[in-house]
Amino acid sequence: MFKDLDPILHSQLRLAVVSLLISVKEAEFTFLKEKTNATAGNLSVQIQKLKDAGYIDVVKQFKDNYPQTICRITKHGIKAFEDYVNSLQSYLGPK
C-alpha cells in the first residue's frame, strides 16, 4: 500500500533545503541560496514553512555587524525525511 508523500517535503525547493541540511550539521542561509540557486525571497518563504512544520531550526544572529541566519535540521525533520524517502521507494518499486 502506498503511503501519502509528505506535502511539506514534496516541493522542489523545500526538499532541496532539507536534503542539504541532512548532510551537514548546520548551514548559513547564503550557503543554501548558493546551492539551490533560489532567490532570497522564495528561499525565506520556504525556510519559514519548514520551520513552522518543525523540520528545521532557524537561528538569526549578527556576525561582524551583518545579520546571519543559520539553519539546522531537527530530529522531527530527520524522521520526516526518512519517511519521505521510504515512501518514494515504495512508489518506485519493491526494494
Partner 1 sequence: MDDKHLSEKESLALITQMINKAKDSYHDTGIGAMMWGAVIAICSLVKLSEIQFGYNLPFDIYWLTLLAIIPQIFITIREKKERKVKSYDDRYMDYIWLAFGISIALLIFIVNVIFQNFHPMAVSFRELGGEPGFKLMEYITPLFLLLYGMPTFITGAACRFKPMLWGGLFCWACCIITLFTTFRVDLLLTALSAVMAWFIPGLIMEKEYRLYKKETQMNV
- Does residue 20 touch partner 1 according to CB under 8 A? yes
- Cβ of residue 22: shortest distance to partner 1, in angstroms? 7
Closest to partner 1 by CB, 22 vs 79, is 22
- Does residue 19 touch partner 1 according to CB under 8 A? yes
* CA 62/CA 93 separation, integer angstroms: 47
- Does residue 95 touch partner 1 according to CB under 8 A? no
Tell me which amino acid residue 44 is.
S
Question: 67 CB contacts (<8 Å, ≥6 apart)?
Answer: 60, 61
- Cβ of residue 63: shortest distance to partner 1, in angstroms? 8
Cβ atoms of 25 and 74 closer than 8 Å:
no
